[in-house]
């Protein structure tokens, strides 16, 4: 049976809805969508969790996923860089929408490959992903369109780079121009350190052949502004803050992120408005003008400096671990949001919970250096007994029916509450119930606002 509603003028000139009912005609609606999420860390677990709250989604696949994701999605043993195999899988299984987590897949052109095959995919083209994969491209774009960022120069030649650095002040920021898995930024305090870093990056090609962006050192709190972007259309998410250093007091080496929280009391409404009007919207429209329209999540890594808000970096995807604290606040249906971006159709009103959210990463001892895997994790069910706690798996596997550690960052435990203190206490309460012989975490997530 098919039902067709048509608006037509009635006998008195007013619009009347005429309903026609056809028996025996195939009905297209409602249909439960099949979704593929590409990636396998905590960010993808948060995306899968949000999709599983959608009334529009039936089946969820995740490639490669992990032991936690497996409770909500069917994990597929394909890597995030196996772009062609992922496309073939999506075609075979009739996947209606693919959502991409990691930048490597986007930089490898997954969106282009899927789109060419007629598949719907949420994530930018390879050309648009350059906003993250090439620091030089991002800096040139910002310079051309007057977007506030640190002063910079780009070098391919070691001697010229060293000359320039010698003539400047310290600390100085050296950024390798390419994807370097978070290891491409070094901030030398003196000339010797700068020399050896430039040697690494330009003479020894430690990360591959490339360029180096030499940047002015800025100071101030950093924050993350993620927006759903479809060309010129920009839809903000709540602000959040990552904690990159491994140990309490922001000490130790940089990591993929040890915790995050939202909202950010130190960012005013005016700051946010400024970031939206002078950074996120102009950059989205600049990408359109450059012939690289952006579709997906544009992540602004911003800093509140004494001279105003400036861009530290852009990412072309959901942030990790920011997504794990932000998406639990989403009250709208994420499938509809993804669809509006992918199809260029009207965006439904996006509603966010005004609650606070804070998450703690539990990592393997030794991370971000070398670490062992395979330690049994216990107490997860107990930790999840609080309805205001979520646990997203970052690096876990299943072994003989038990959950074991399988990565550097292993779990993220997120609490929500009316205040950040409440959110923190809930999360830490749950962390205390998790037993594992090889995990550490920072207790001071949110120190900047919780003192």
Contact residues toward ligand GLY (CB under 6 A) are 242, 257, 315, 319-320, 322
Given the rule CB under 6 A, which of 36-44, 55-63, 209-217, 386-394 is the region that contacts ligand AMP? 209-217
Pick between residue 180 and residue 421 the one whose CB is nearest to ligand GLY: 180
CA atoms of 403 and 386, how far apart (whole Å): 20
Q: Which does 53 bind (CB under 5 to 8 A by kind): ligand GLY, ligand AMP, none?
A: none
Query: Is the torsion defined by CA of 372, 375, 380, 382 positive or negative?
Result: negative
The answer to whether the CB of 101 falls within 8 A of the CB of 47 is yes
Is the CB of residue 321 less than 8 Å from the CB of residue 42?
Answer: yes
Given 96, 177, 313, 322, the residue binding ligand AMP (CB under 6 A)? 313
Query: Residues 63, 85: contact at Cβ < 8 Å?
Result: no
- Which one of ligand AMP, ligand GLY, none is in contact with 363 (Cβ closer than 5 to 8 A by kind)? none
Question: Do 42 and 392 meet the contact criterion of CB atoms below 8 Å apart?
Answer: yes
Tokens of 213: 């962006």
What gap in Å lies between CA 325 and CA 237, rounded to an integer?
Answer: 11
Cβ proximity of 142 and 149 under 8 Å = yes
In the complex, residue closest to ligand GLY by CB: 319
Q: Is 185 in the site for ligand AMP (CB under 6 A)?
A: yes
* Residue nearer to ligand AMP on the CB measure, 328 or 408: 408
Q: Residue 214 CB, nearest distance to ligand AMP (Å)?
A: 10
Closest contact distance (angstroms) between CB of 66 and ligand GLY is 18
Partner whose footprint covers residue 180, from ligand AMP, ligand GLY, none (CB < 5 to 8 Å by kind)? none
**Calpha distance 60→215 (Å, rounded):** 42
Residue entry with tokens 């994790």: 377
CA 333 to chain centre: 18
- Would you give the end-to-end CA distance of the chain in angstroms? 63
Minimum Å gap between C-beta 103 and ligand GLY is 8
* Binding window for ligand AMP (CB under 6 A); candidates: 21-29, 88-96, 212-220, 395-403: 212-220
Residue 186 in the binding site for ligand AMP (CB under 6 A): no
Q: Taking CB under 6 A as the criterion, which residues in 237-276 touch ligand AMP?
A: 244
Q: Which residues are CB-contacts of 159 (< 8 A; sequence separation ≥ 6)?
A: none
User: In the bound complex, what is the minimum distance in angstroms from residue 131's beta carbon to ligand AMP?
Assistant: 12
Give the span between the Cα atoms of 141 and 361, in whole angstroms. 34
With CB under 6 A as the contact rule, the residue among 127, 193, 222, 422 that binds ligand AMP is 222
CB closer to ligand AMP out of 215 and 290: 215
Q: Which is nearer to ligand GLY, 242 or 271 (CB)?
A: 242
- Rounded to a whole number of angstroms, the minimum distance from the CB of residue 305 to ligand AMP is 9
Is residue 173 within the footprint of ligand AMP (CB under 6 A)? yes
177 binds ligand AMP (CB under 6 A): no
CA–CA distance, 128 with 442 (Å, rounded to integer)? 35
Q: What is the DSSP letter of 114?
A: H
Told to check if 215 binds ligand AMP by CB under 6 A, we report yes
Residue 315, contacted partner among ligand GLY, ligand AMP, none, CB below 5-8 A by kind? ligand GLY
Q: Based on the number of CB atoms within 10 Å of its own CB, is 197 exposed (0-12), middle (13-18) or buried (19 or more)?
A: buried
- CA separation for the pair 342, 98 (Å, rounded): 10
The residue ranges that bind ligand AMP (CB under 6 A) are: 150, 173, 175, 185, 215-218, 222, 244, 301, 312-313
């Amino acid at each position: 049976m098919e039902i067709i509603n048509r608006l037509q003028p009635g006998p008195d000139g007013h619009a009347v809805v005429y309903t026609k009912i056809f028996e025996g005609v195939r009905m297209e609606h409602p249909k439960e969508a099949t979704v593929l999420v590409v990636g396998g860390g905590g960010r993808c677990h948060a995306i899968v969790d949000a999709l599983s709250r959608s009334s529009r989604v039936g089946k969820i696949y995740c490639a490669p996923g992990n032991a936690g994701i497996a409770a909500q999605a069917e994990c597929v043993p394909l890597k995030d860089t196996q772009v062609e195999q992922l496309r073939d899988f999506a075609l075979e299984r009739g996947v209606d929408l693919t959502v991409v987590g990691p930048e490597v897949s986007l930089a490898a052109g997954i969106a282009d490959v899927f789109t060419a095959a007629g598949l719907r995919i949420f994530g930018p083209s390879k050309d648009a992903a350059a906003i993250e994969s090439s620091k030089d491209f991002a800096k040139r774009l910002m310079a051309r369109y007057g977007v506030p960022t640190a002063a910079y120069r780009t070098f391919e030649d070691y001697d010229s780079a060293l000359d320039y650095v010698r003539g400047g002040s310290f600390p100085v920021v050296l950024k390798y121009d390419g994807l370097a898995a978070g290891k491409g930024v070094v901030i030398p305090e003196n000339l010797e350190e700068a020399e050896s870093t430039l040697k690494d990056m330009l003479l020894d090609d430690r990360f591959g052949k490339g360029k180096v962006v030499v940047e002015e050192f800025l100071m101030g709190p950093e924050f993350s502004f993620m927006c759903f972007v479809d060309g010129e259309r920009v839809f903000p998410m709540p602000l959040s803050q990552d904690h990159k250093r491994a140990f309490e007091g922001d000490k130790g080496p940089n990591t993929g992120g040890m915790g995050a929280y939202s909202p950010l009391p130190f960012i005013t409404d005016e700051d946010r408005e400024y970031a939206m009007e002078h950074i996120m919207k102009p950059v989205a429209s600049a990408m359109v003008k450059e012939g690289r329209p952006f579709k997906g999540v544009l992540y602004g890594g911003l800093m509140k400096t004494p001279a105003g808000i400036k861009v530290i970096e852009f990412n072309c995807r959901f942030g990790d671990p920011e997504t794990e604290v932000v998406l639990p606040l989403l009250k709208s249906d994420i499938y509809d949001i993804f669809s509006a971006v992918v199809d260029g159709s009207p965006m439904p009103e996006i509603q966010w919970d005004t609650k606070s959210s804070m998450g703690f990463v539990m990592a393997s001892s030794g991370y971000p250096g070398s670490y062992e895997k395979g330690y049994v994790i216990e107490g997860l069910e107990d930790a999840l007994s609080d309805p205001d706690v979520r646990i997203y798996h970052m690096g876990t596997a299943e072994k003989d029916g038990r959950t074991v550690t399988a990565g550097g960052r292993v779990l993220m435990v997120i609490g929500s509450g009316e205040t950040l203190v409440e959110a923190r206490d809930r999360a830490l309460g749950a962390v205390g119930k998790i037993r594992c012989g090889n995990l550490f975490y920072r207790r001071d997530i949110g120190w900047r606002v919780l003192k």
